[in-house]
């Protein structure tokens, strides 16, 4: 069969993404520094998403924030599920990564780079 990949469902996308936790430790390799990320720094409304440097952040109807590299059809899946594009801070989109999820973040990027 052809190389066409199927879209993820919203449930699959949420499971694959990293959920942002209040007080999450973030490492910025370009500055060799760690910082703490607080949810209130992400000023976004429910059912919205933002994009920066091949990373998508989205906020579900409960206010939970998810971050994932822009895998094939990520934004289309969100739009098809009633999410709207918005402008807000996208964590992990400037070479930074979540300290406790470093390996998982690397695996997500590997998947993106295979597409």
Buried-exposed string 20-41: b where 16+ CB fall within 10 A, e elsewhere: beeebebbeeeeeeeeebebee
DSSP SS3 for 66: strand
pTM over 0.85: yes
Question: What average pLDDT does the segment 77-104 reach?
Answer: 96
Structure confidence at residue 5 (pLDDT): 60
Q: d(Cα 48, Cα 45) in Å, to the nearest integer?
A: 6
User: Where are the domains positioned within the chain?
Assistant: 10-114
Taking alpha carbons only, the member of 7, 39, 4 closest to residue 23 is 39
What does the pLDDT look like over 39-76, one tens digit per residue?
999 999 999 999 999 999 999 999 999 999 998 899 99
């Amino acid at each position: 069969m052809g190389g066409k990949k199927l879209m993820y469902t919203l449930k699959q996308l949420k499971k694959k993404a990293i959920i942002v936790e209040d007080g999450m430790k973030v490492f910025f390799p370009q500055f060799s520094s760690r910082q703490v990320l607080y949810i209130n720094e992400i000023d976004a409304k429910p059912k919205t998403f933002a994009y920066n440097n091949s990373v998508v952040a989205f906020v579900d109807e409960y206010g939970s924030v998810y971050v994932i590299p822009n895998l094939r059809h990520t934004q289309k899946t969100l739009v098809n599920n009633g999410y709207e594009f918005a402008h807000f801070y996208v964590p992990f989109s400037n070479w930074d990564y979540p300290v406790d999820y470093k390996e998982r973040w690397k695996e997500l990027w590997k998947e993106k780079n295979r597409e």
